[in-house]
Amino acid sequence: MKLKRQHTMIVGLVLVLIAVTTVMISWNGNDEGIFRELEEEPEISVFMHETGEIRTMMLEDYLQGVVAGEMFPDWPVEAYAAQAIFARSFTMAFIAAGGMQEERGADISTDIQEAQAYNAEAITPEIRAGVEMTRGQVMTFDNRFVQGWFHAYSGGITSTAVEGLDFQGEEPPYVTSIELPANVYAPEDVVHWSAEYSAAELQTLLAEVDINVGTIQAVRIVERGPTKRITLLEIEGTNGTESLHGQRFRLLVDSTRMRSTLVEELEYADGVLRMSGSGYGHGVGLSQWDAFKMAKDGMTPEQIATAFFADVEVKNLYD
């Protein structure tokens, strides 16, 4: 597998799953996101950000392009099917919260910064079979659509939304942290990674979002969450000190380099920030490489999907 392709796809995953936080359904008793069976498969409008056009397509056709955009070729069909359950759940929750109607005049967008990745050209017979295997299936909790957060590799333990995504609000009741066994299928560069940044490079990246601490003097981890992911990091400079959640910092400094906040070592010395860690992505929800292993181990798509959240139920939205 070529690293360039992996980087491109995982960037999409990271941005998609951060975007999801803006449409998280509430558990305070309102009617948003309530699961209701449909008489038939819905037709949805999709804003194609590459061309600016709006296309109308059946939901299952859309999901084939999403799975193709979010996963690699030549994976087990059961892994594709589990991803389809997550993507279908996310799509329905997204649309229930208003979708992209106000911004784009459509239900959903192919812009990875707004919704999910989409690549119809990458659809394979196996991906098509995986989506069809779980046709109409969504995850629910308390009869509401579940947000389908997912990432590339857990590093052996998944995270809560508050820890991994800096989710603002009460932790969704179905989100939980689970420990996972060693994964012989996960590539070495997602199991263990390292990155380094010069002070000048860091200053430039931070300045792009109007963070200017001056000449950087120190970078330090202040707090870690329950799974040891960075939840608070300080950057000290001649103009002052800036505190950031680890996930926000990761996105600012290129999430294909700082591949997770599950950082084992971090040191700033001689004008260079060096770090190393494990995993790829924010760590919340489905871990794709662990789903790969579960499929290889003989688990069904429903078993894979429900392994990553607590007390969720897979229901048929339509036949």
Side-chain half-sphere of 204: how many Cα atoms within 13 Å?
6
Which pLDDT belongs to residue 31? 60
Of 200, 189, 165, which is closest to residue 22 (Cα–Cα)? 165
Which residue has 């192919």 as its token pair?
Answer: 110
Distance CA 308, CA 319 (A): 25
pLDDT for residue 267: 97
Question: What residue has token string 């056009």?
Answer: 53
For residue 264, how many other CB atoms are within 10 A of its CB?
A: 13
Cα four-point dihedral sign 55, 19, 180, 194: positive
pLDDT digits (tens, 9 = 90+) for 67-101: 999 999 999 999 999 999 999 999 998 898 898 89
Cα gap 310→142, rounded to integer Å: 12
Among residues 313, 277, 17, the alpha carbon closest in space to that of 167 is found at 17
Is residue 199 packed enough to be buried (19+ CB in 10 Å), middle (13-18) or exposed (0-12)? middle
Q: Are 186 and 209 in contact (CB under 8 A)?
A: no
Answer for the pair 136, 318: CB distance below 8 angstroms, yes or no: yes
**What confidence score (pLDDT) does residue 17 get?**
41
Cα Rg for the chain, rounded, in angstroms?
20
What pLDDT is recorded for position 32? 64
Rounded distance, CA 260 to CA 281, Å? 5
Instruction: Note the residue count of the chain.
Output: 319
Candidates 286, 283, 285, 291; CA nearest to 230 is 283
Q: Give me the pLDDT at residue 113, please.
A: 75
Give the helix, strand, coil percentages of the chain, each rounded to 5: 35, 25, 40
The list of the chain residues with pLDDT below 70 reads 1-32
Burial of 7 (0-12, 13-18, 19+ CB in 10 A): middle
